[in-house]
Amino acid sequence: MKEAKILLVDDEEDFVKTLAERLSVKQVVPKPPGVALTGEAALASLQDEVPDVMVLDLRMPGIDGMEVLKRVKRYYPEVEVVILTGHGSDKDREEAERLGAFDYLEKPVNIDTLVTTIRKALVQKWDETMVASTFAEAGEFESAEEYLKEK
């Protein structure tokens, strides 16, 4: 079974580590999310492992989130990117959507909203049966069939 890969990108180290822990507790995917603290680190990590979903902050020193989004969509268009920002604007939202972001969320985000958004991104990327099996393997559902019934 394919194992979903999530990459969290945010320059606020405490926030991103807490978010990774919360997503692990929620068992979004069997493998804990990866973490990058800069746009540069996020782009470099893509050379080693391409995530299925990237949760990306916009405002970071150096290469900002919008530039990361542009590069990811140019070179890794299969990656679903969810923008998660505390300093966005309507203009940023429009630009992110134009560049191909899967969704645009604002901090503080409800963890269940983020989990649902990541799952939707995985469903878009994979077929539903594969997603259901992944969630079942994570222990969230007893079986893929149970997940599909809840949809």
Distance between CA atoms of 140 and 136, rounded to whole angstroms? 6
Instruction: Pick the more confident residue, 109 or 145.
Output: 109
pLDDT class for 150, splitting at 50, 70, 90?
low
Q: Taking residues 113-126, what's their average pLDDT? A: 88
Position 123 pLDDT exceeds 80? yes
**Candidate from 62-71, 98-107, 130-139, 140-149 with smallest mean pLDDT:** 140-149
Q: Helices (DSSP H) in the chain: which residue ranges?
A: 13-25, 39-45, 65-75, 90-99, 111-125, 128-137, 144-150
Residue 119 has pLDDT above 70, yes or no: yes
For residue 24, being part of any structural domain is answered with yes
Q: Range of 54's domain?
A: 6-150
- The whole-number pLDDT of residue 1 equals 43
Over residues 40-45, mean pLDDT = 96
Q: Long-range contact list for 108-111, CB < 8 A, 24+ apart? A: 109/84, 111/22, 111/23, 111/26
Q: Could you say which DSSP state residue 139 is in?
A: T
Pick the more confident residue, 29 or 148: 29
Kindly provide the b/e burial profile for residues 27-37, where b requires at least 16 CB atoms within 10 angstroms of the residue's own CB.
Answer: ebbeeebbbbb
In a domain, 63, yes or no: yes
pLDDT of residue 26: 72
Write the CATH number for 120. 3.40.50.2300
Number of domains the chain contains: 1
Query: How far is Cα 89 from Cα 13, in angstroms, rounded to an integer?
Result: 23
Q: How confident is the model at residue 79 (pLDDT cuts 50, 70, 90)?
A: very high
Structure tokens at 119: 């799952």
The pLDDT value recorded for residue 84 is: 97
Residue 1 in any domain: the answer is no
Structure tokens at 127: 């077929």
Q: Which residue has the tokens 């507790």?
A: 25
Report d(CA 71, CA 54) in Å as an integer: 13
> What digits encode the pLDDT tens for the residues 43-76?
999 999 999 999 999 999 999 999 999 999 999 9
